[in-house]
Structures are given as C-alpha cells and as structure tokens.
C-alpha cells in the first residue's frame, strides 16, 4: 500500500505539472515582451514629456522668439532651412571625420612606439599631458594663426582633441596582457613582432574602441569650436551667426543638426565595435 | 610494461630532465630572496613527477627554470641532454598554466593551433597529432568552434592541455593546472591527464598543492620545503597502474597521503 502511494503520487501530479510549466513559460515570455516595450517606449515618453514642458514654458511665460523658440517653431525651421543646415553640416562633417582619422592614427602609431621604446614614452608623455591640459578654446586661436582660415585648423583641432584619450587607452590596451600569456609566447619562442600581432594588438582592440567612441563625439566638438574662430561656413559658424542675429529658432535647429551628426557618428563606431569585438560580452 | 620500457629507454637515452645544484636568487628592494637552493634531481623519459610543497617553496620557479623562462643563478639544467633554451627552441616543452591563458578572440581549435603560428612552429612541427585529434584526446570533440567565454573552466583547461601537446613535446610542464577548478572537475581531469600521459608517453612535471592530487598522479612526489626552496624528500608512489579514482579509498593510498602530510608539516 505504502509503495502504491509512493509510486502513484508523482504520476498523478505530472499532468497539472506540465501545464503549470507552460503557464510559467507564457508568463515569462509576456514579462519579457513587456520589458522590451518598456525599454523602447519609456525613453520616447520621457522625451515627449520634456518637449511638452518646453512648449508649455514658452507659451505660459510668453517667451519672446529672440530669447528662446518654441519646439514647433524649431521643427518648422529645420524643415524650411534644411538646405542651409545641410550645406553647413557638410564642412563640419569633413573636418570632424578627417580630424578623427588623423588624430587616432597618430595616437595609435605613437602608442605602439611608446610600448616598444620605453624611453620615448618617458621623454614625451609628460609633454603630451601638458598639451592636453590646455583647453581647446585656448588651443584653437593658436592653430588658426598657424594654419590659416581654411579647413586645416579645424581638422587639426578635431585631431588634437581625439589624440589624447586614444593614446592613453591604446598604450593601456597594448600593455594589458597577462604575464602568463607572455610566458606562453616565450615558451613558444615567439618573436617580438609575432607577440605584437598575435597578442598585443588583439588585446588592445576593446581599449581602442572605448577611446574611439569618446573621440567620435569630441571630434565634432573640436570641429565646431574651430569654426567659431574665423569661419564663414560650418555648424560652428552658423551657431555664431544665428546668435548674433537673435535667430533663436535657427540656433536651436543648428545645434540639433550638429548633435544628430555626432550621435550618428558615435553609433557607427559602436556598430563597428560590435562587429570587431565579439569576445567581450556587450551590455544590451 | 610501459614502466619497463621507460627503464630500458633510460639506459640508452639521456635523462628527460636533470638538475644539478640549481639555485635561483631574486633581488627585492629590501633583501635577496633565495627561491631555490641547491636543487638536484633526475627525471627519466616517460615518467610522471609531481611537485608538492607549501606556497613560496619555489615550485613554480622550478618549472620556469626547466622551461627556460627563468635562468638559474647557479647550477646546471639539462633538458633531454641539452640546455633548456635548446629544448625550448626545438619545441620539446609544453607548458600548462594555472590560468588557461587562452586567447579570448580565438575559438578552441584556433587556440590549439597557436603554436603552429608563432616562433617558426610550422617548420619545427613533427609528425604528431593534429589540432583536431588533440581536442578529441582531451574529450572536446564537437567544441572546436566554441569561444573561450562559452567554455567552462575545466573545458578551457583541456584546451590549454591540447595546445601544450601540439607538436608532440617530450616534456609537459604543468603549473597547478587544476588548482582553480572544483573538486569534481579536478578529479575527472586527473583521470583524463593520466589517460593522456599513457597515450602520449610524455614526461610530465606537475606542480600542485593538493596532497591527494600529488599522490594520485605521480610515480614520484618531489617534496619541496620553503625558505629557502629546497628538496625535502623524494617519495616514490608504488600504486598499481593504471590507476583509477577508486584507489583513493584504499588503505594503502590513505597511508601514503598520511605520510606526505607528515612530511609537509615539517616543510
């Protein structure tokens, strides 16, 4: 009898057990999709509510258009003056991307030199830190005097602004190899360039990308700051013009155009990172 | 049978590893540290020696001297009758670290292939097992394309062993390879290592801080004492071959482990 009970009890429980498991799974999936919706919907709701506050503040306090525009006026300006905005975005894009490429390439090259020739690092790193501590707005006039009024000084400023974070991160990445990995390479009689290609360079890639993501945004800042000083075209020049003309709607539209490019540039680098670095788990 | 063969081979061949008066000193900022002091021992080809001792007794240093990672301050080291650097260049030495040291951007099979791609590995490669066969030998068939972060700690260590065995090195140096693993995984890998040893006939020098591991794996246990690191005793392990984990439950094994523990207390 006792054995009977012992055997039949789990069998009887089995049928409702399965549906329970199914139910739990359905609940889990529902919770997952709810979480997914929340992740996408809540930021939009947040943005919409802030836009509403902006609109309400301008309307309630009757803010004059030369002080601050209301959001719908900015939206209209973006449509009507899209031509002006894009022609001015174009040079800023070229300056930012060229500066990004130049600054990062030089930084990577110098990082490789620093890692392989320690005395060069000891001799020049303090000077690099010193130059980096000068604010961009202070460096910009010097470069304009040196390089004239064309695109060159803007590219130089964007490059300098990218250079430092990449140099520091790249040096750290190239040196982030474990002592055991070095011993392994030694036991395998690997040559210096083999250690560089097979070990140091791949190890540094995640470090490089965290620097590139910073550089993507800051290179745009560099280009815009460069355009503030002696330039007729570009997002920076348009910002100055709009401010002097009290054209607040155009000013806001310009700022939005510039940051849209900045975000797009950042997302491009992040996509590249996810394609290149598959061994480090990324947060969703 | 295999023991008899290696005995016969020993008469004609040079010892696999031979240390004579090996001393290693390090300079630290405060004082000179003697990591190893006057180490002498000879290891015949095909044998399995475990190194047991308290932390700081220079076990890892000893392995690194044999692998030509650290140069001794005094004494001579011969590996297969030559200087360690010679053995290293000829790829006679495989090294397994405590941390698997896999390259995280490479799949399991590509990690095993690494020795072919550096240090002229493609040239010095002898007719031996292929990377695929080595992964099969350590029980990882079907995991060739898995990335290290997808593997468990035990599996990563198996990949590291397969990598160390590429090119059929005659010496396998293992530095606490299972020290970071849980006991169940460690037991299983101990058995698999004995299997690999019987299959390949490699000479193994195995560092551990586990008494049971030292007694179960080794034909001999070299016991080191600390401060300065020196040979305390070489204990022969006369257990029947091939060994299985159940041997640990025998009174014979218990007595051996007890003896090692007693010696360890005076190290």
Cβ within 8 Å, pair B101-A279: no
Q: pLDDT tens track of chain B, all 267 residues? A: 445 445 545 455 688 999 999 999 988 777 888 889 999 999 999 999 999 988 888 889 999 999 999 999 999 999 998 999 999 998 899 999 999 999 999 999 999 999 999 988 776 656 678 999 999 988 899 999 999 999 999 999 999 999 999 988 999 999 999 988 888 888 989 998 998 899 888 999 999 989 999 999 999 999 998 888 888 889 998 888 888 888 888 888 998 999 999 998 887
At residue A224, the pLDDT reads 93
Any A CB within 8 A of B88 CB: yes
Do A76 and A26 have their domain in common? no
Any B CB within 8 A of A178 CB: yes
Q: How far is B246 from chain A (nearest CA, A)?
A: 34
Give the mutation candidate from B96, B101, B111 for the A interface (greatest A CB count, under 10 A). Answer: B101
Q: Are A197 and B96 in contact (CB under 8 A)?
A: no
3-state secondary structure chain A: CHHHHHHHHHHHHHHHHHHHHHHHHHHHHHHHHHHHHHHHHHHHHHHHHHHHHHHHHHHHCCCCCCCCCCHHHHHHHHHHCHHHHHHHHHHHHHHHHHHHHHHHHHHHHHHHHHHHCHHHHHHHHHHHHHHHHCCHHHHHHHHHHHHCCCCHHHHHHHHHHHHHHHHHHHHHHHCCCCHHHHHHHHHCCCCHHHHHHHHHHHHHHHHHHHHHHHHHHHHHHHHHHHHHCCCCCCHHHHHHHHHHCCCHHHHHHHHHHHHHHHHHHHHHHHHHHHHHCCCCCCCC
Look-up of token digits 């000879």: B42
Do A19 and A98 have their domain in common? no
Residues 6+ apart with CB under 8 A from B139: B158, B192
Selected residue with higher pLDDT from A18 and B110: B110
From A42, A62, A82, give the residue that closes a domain. Answer: A62
Cβ within 8 Å, pair B101-A180: yes
| Mean predicted confidence (pLDDT) in A221-230 | 89
In a domain, A142, yes or no: yes
At residue A56, the pLDDT reads 93
Cβ neighbours of B147 in A, within 8 Å: 278-279
Q: In what order do the strands lie in the sheet with B220-225?
A: B93-96, B171-175, B203-208, B48-52, B220-225, B230-236
In a domain, A283, yes or no: no
Do B76 and B180 have their domain in common? yes
Q: How far is A25 from chain B (nearest CA, A)?
A: 25
* Helix A152-174 / helix A118-133 crossing angle, nearest 10 deg: 130
Residues 6+ apart with CB under 8 A from A37: none
At residue A271, the pLDDT reads 94
At residue A6, the pLDDT reads 45
Nearest chain A alpha carbon to B88: A187
Cβ neighbours of A206 in B, within 8 Å: none
Q: Torsions phi, psi of A223, nearest 5?
A: -60, -45
Cβ within 8 Å, pair A202-B97: no
Give the mutation candidate from A189, A190, A201 for the B interface (greatest B CB count, under 10 A). Answer: A189
Give the mutation candidate from A177, A179, A181, A184 for the B interface (greatest B CB count, under 10 A). Answer: A184
From B128, B148, B168, give the residue that closes a domain. Answer: B168
What is the pTM for the complete model shown? 0.81
Q: How far is A280 from chain B (nearest CA, A)?
A: 8
Q: How far is A189 from chain B (nearest CA, A)?
A: 5
CB pairs under 8 A between A and B: 64
Give the Cα separation of A224 and A161 in Å (integer): 12
Any B CB within 8 A of A198 CB: yes
At residue A1, the pLDDT reads 43
In a domain, A104, yes or no: yes
In a domain, A281, yes or no: no
Structure tokens at A259: 């940051």
Cβ within 8 Å, pair B103-A189: no
Structure tokens at A237: 């020049």
Do B188 and B163 have their domain in common? no
Do B17 and B78 have their domain in common? yes
From B140, B168, B196, give the residue that closes a domain. Answer: B168
Give the Cα separation of B12 and A166 in Å (integer): 59
Cβ within 8 Å, pair B114-A281: no
Cβ within 8 Å, pair A185-B120: no
Q: Are B60 and B207 in contact (CB under 8 A)?
A: yes
Q: Torsions phi, psi of B51, nearest 5?
A: -105, 120
Do A55 and A82 have their domain in common? no
Of A184, A191, A202, which is closest to B101 when you measure between CB atoms?
Answer: A184
Q: How far is A198 from chain B (nearest CA, A)?
A: 8
At residue B265, the pLDDT reads 86
From A16, A39, A62, give the residue that closes a domain. Answer: A62
At residue A3, the pLDDT reads 45
Structural domain total, chain B: 2
Nearest chain B alpha carbon to A193: B118
- Backbone dihedral region of B109: left (phi > 0), alpha (psi from -120 to 50 degrees) or beta? alpha
From A16, A34, A62, give the residue that closes a domain. Answer: A62
Of B97, B104, B121, which is closest to A188 when you measure between CB atoms?
Answer: B121
Distances (CA, A) of A170 to A114, A161, A203, A267: 10, 15, 10, 21
The boundaries of the domain holding residue B251 are: 2-92+170-265
Residues 6+ apart with CB under 8 A from B46: B2, B5, B6, B9, B16, B201, B202, B203
pLDDT digits (tens, 9 = 90+) for A29-78: 888 888 888 888 998 999 999 999 999 999 999 888 888 899 999 999 99
Structure tokens at A26: 């359905």
Do B77 and B119 have their domain in common? no
Measured distance between the N- and C-terminal CA atoms of chain A, rounded to whole angstroms = 56
At residue A112, the pLDDT reads 95
Cβ within 8 Å, pair A191-B118: yes
Do A153 and A213 have their domain in common? yes
Nearest chain B alpha carbon to A195: B118
The boundaries of the domain holding residue A220 are: 71-276
Structure tokens at A107: 């930084």
Give the Cα separation of A209 and A220 in Å (integer): 17
Do B68 and B124 have their domain in common? no
Q: How many CB atoms lie within 10 A of CB B54?
A: 16
Do A19 and A138 have their domain in common? no
Do A36 and A161 have their domain in common? no
Any A CB within 8 A of B86 CB: no
Query: Which CATH number goes with the domain that contains B65?
Result: 3.40.50.300
pLDDT band at A15 (very low <50, low <70, confident <90, very high): low
Query: Which CATH number goes with the domain that contains A269?
Result: 1.10.3720.10
Give the Cα separation of A179 and B266 in Å (integer): 32
In a domain, A108, yes or no: yes
Structural domain total, chain A: 2
- Interface predicted TM-score (ipTM): 0.89
Any A CB within 8 A of B146 CB: no
- Give the angle B183-B188-B193 at the CA atoms, nearest 5°: 120
Do A6 and A78 have their domain in common? no
Q: How far is B125 from chain A (nearest CA, A)?
A: 12
Q: Are B22 and B7 in contact (CB under 8 A)?
A: no
Selected residue with higher pLDDT from A4 and B22: B22
Give the Cα separation of B218 and B241 in Å (integer): 11
Do A77 and A45 have their domain in common? no
Cβ within 8 Å, pair A181-B101: yes
Of A198, A278, A280, which is closest to B117 when you measure between CB atoms?
Answer: A198
Structure tokens at A66: 């030369």
Q: Are A102 and A155 in contact (CB under 8 A)?
A: yes
Structure tokens at B19: 């240390």
3-state secondary structure B190-216: HHHHHHHHHHHCCEEEEEECCHHHHHH
Do B70 and B122 have their domain in common? no
Closest CA relative to residue B159, chosen from B201, B213, B118, B103: B103
Q: Is A190 exposed, middle or buried (0-12, 13-18, 19+ CB in 10 A)?
A: buried
From B148, B168, B188, give the residue that closes a domain. Answer: B168
Structure tokens at A122: 């000891």
Nearest chain B alpha carbon to A180: B101
Do A9 and A135 have their domain in common? no
Do A50 and A158 have their domain in common? no
């Amino acid at each position: 009898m006792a054995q009977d009970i012992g055997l039949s009890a789990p069998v009887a429980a089995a049928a409702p057990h399965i549906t329970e498991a199914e139910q739990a799974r359905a609940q889990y999936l529902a919770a997952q999709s709810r979480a997914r919706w929340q992740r996408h919907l809540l930021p939009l709701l947040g943005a919409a509510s802030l836009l509403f506050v902006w609109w309400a503040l301008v309307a309630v306090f009757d803010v004059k258009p030369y002080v601050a525009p209301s959001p719908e006026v900015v939206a209209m300006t973006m449509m009507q003056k899209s031509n002006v905005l894009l022609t001015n975005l174009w040079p800023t894009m070229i300056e930012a991307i060229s500066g990004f490429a130049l600054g990062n390439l030089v930084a990577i090259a110098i990082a490789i030199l620093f890692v392989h020739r320690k005395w060069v690092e000891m001799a020049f790193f303090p000077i690099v830190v010193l130059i980096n501590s000068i604010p961009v707005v202070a460096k910009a006039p010097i470069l304009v005097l040196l390089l004239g009024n064309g695109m060159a000084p803007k590219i130089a400023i964007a490059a300098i602004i990218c250079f430092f974070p990449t140099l520091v991160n790249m040096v750290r990445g190239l040196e982030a190899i474990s002592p055991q990995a070095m011993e392994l390479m030694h036991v395998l009689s690997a040559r210096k360039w083999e250690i560089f290609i097979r070990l140091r360079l791949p190890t540094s890639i995640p470090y490089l990308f965290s620097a590139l993501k910073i550089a993507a945004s800051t290179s745009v800042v560099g280009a815009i700051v460069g355009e503030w000083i002696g330039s007729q075209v570009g997002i920076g020049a348009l910002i100055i013009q709009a401010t002097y003309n009290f054209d607040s709607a155009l000013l806001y539209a310009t700022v939005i155009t510039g940051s849209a490019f900045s975000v797009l540039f950042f997302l491009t680098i992040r996509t590249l990172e996810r394609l290149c670095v598959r061994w480090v788990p990324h947060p969703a | 049978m295999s023991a008899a063969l290696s005995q016969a081979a020993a008469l004609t061949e040079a010892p696999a590893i031979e240390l004579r008066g090996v001393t290693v000193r390090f300079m630290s900022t405060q004082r000179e540290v003697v990591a190893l002091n006057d180490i002498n021992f000879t290891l015949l080809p095909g044998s399995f020696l475990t190194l047991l001792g308290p932390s700081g007794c220079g076990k890892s240093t000893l392995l690194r001297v044999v692998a030509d990672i650290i140069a001794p301050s005094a004494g001579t080291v011969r590996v297969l009758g030559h200087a360690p650097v010679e053995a290293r260049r000829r790829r006679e030495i495989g090294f397994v670290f405590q941390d698997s040291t896999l390259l995280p951007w490479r799949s399991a099979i590509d990690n095993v292939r690494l020795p072919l791609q550096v240090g002229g590995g493609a040239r010095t490669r002898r007719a031996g097992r292929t990377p695929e066969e080595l992964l099969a030998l350590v029980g990882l068939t079907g995991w060739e394309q898995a990335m290290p972060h997808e593997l468990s700690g035990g599996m990563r260590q198996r990949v590291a062993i397969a990598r160390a065995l590429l090119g059929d090195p005659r010496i396998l140096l293992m530095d606490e390879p299972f020290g970071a693993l849980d006991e169940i995984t460690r037991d299983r890998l101990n058995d698999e290592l004995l299997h690999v040893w019987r299959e390949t006939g490699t000479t193994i020098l195995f560092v551990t801080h586990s008494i049971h591991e030292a007694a179960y794996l080794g034909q001999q246990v070299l016991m080191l004492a600390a401060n300065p690191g020196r040979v305390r005793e070489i204990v022969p392990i006369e257990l029947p071959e091939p060994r299985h984990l159940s041997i640990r439950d025998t009174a014979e094994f218990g007595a051996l482990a007890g003896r090692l523990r007693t010696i360890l207390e005076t190290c």
